[in-house]
Amino acid sequence: VLFDGGVRRGTDVLKALALGADLVCVGRPVAWGLACSGEEGVGHMLRLLTEELRTAMMLAGCPDVRAAQRRELVQLPGEPPPRPVPALAKL
């Protein structure tokens, strides 16, 4: 599943992965970085996005991107509440 559109922050990437995305596209923030500072601006934007994703994953208890793909991170309308992440239940 390819997720494209509306991705502005690392938390947006995490939500897309939790909803089942295999790939998350980031278009507009790249264009903003390019417009502001060229290649250096794109690199800076990607570093910021990566750091935001890492922070969001740590707060959600995801040790890696594969763990972020678990549906336990998101409760869809009409579904029962998510189960605790097993790694966090032992803490």
Helices (H), the chain: 10-18, 28-60, 65-68, 86-89
Q: Whose structure tokens read 């596209």?
A: 25
- What are the beta bridge partners of residue 3? 24
Q: Return mean pLDDT, the chain.
A: 84
Q: pLDDT at position 78, please? A: 82
Per-residue pLDDT of the chain (91 residues; tens, 9 = 90+): 899 888 999 999 998 988 888 899 998 999 999 999 999 999 999 999 999 999 998 888 888 888 887 656 666 788 777 666 555 545 4
pTM: 0.74
